[in-house]
Structure 1
């Protein structure tokens, strides 16, 4: 299992457009991908799950990947989210 702790810097938090980018990035991998915030953890491949967390800007989240391509998954998801200025 691989995980990273990052801070959401998108001005609207992890809602709608940034959540869609996150879900699309996670959905490309076979590994189980979860995001945790505020004591809750959801499947990062589920737009409704990610949006249900209501993650505001300047929040710390944990992204966890577990499976055969977990190394590639966590690196690629982090890269996409940083490139889109969703996380720092």
Structure 2
């Protein structure tokens, strides 16, 4: 399992549009991927799951993956979050 923490850069957080980009990117990988905020963990490939976390700007989230391409998956998602989703 590969795990990395990242702070959400964009001000509004993971609302519908950025969350869609996030899950689309997650679905490019075969690994099982999760997002964790505080004590809640959801499937990173589930739009409803990601939105249910209520992630706002300035929040630190944990991205974790388990599988053949786990490191590439986590690094790609962390890079996307750090980019601020081009907002």
Tell me the TM-score normalised to structure 1 length.
0.89
What root-mean-square deviation, in Å, do the aligned CA atoms of Structure 1 and Structure 2 show? 1.1
Cα displacement string for residues 4-26 of structure 1 (whole angstroms, at most 9, x for unaligned residues): 10001211111111111110110
Q: Which runs of 5+ in 1 are unaligned?
A: none
Contact 2:7 2:82 in 1 (8 A): no
- Number of aligned residue pairs: give it: 85
1:74 matched to which residue of 2? 74
Cα displacement string for residues 42-83 of structure 1 (whole angstroms, at most 9, x for unaligned residues): 000000000000011100100001011112111222223333
1:62 matched to which residue of 2? 62
Contact 2:14 2:55 in 1 (8 A): yes
Q: Which runs of 5+ in 2 are unaligned?
A: none
Tell me the TM-score normalised to structure 2 length.
0.90
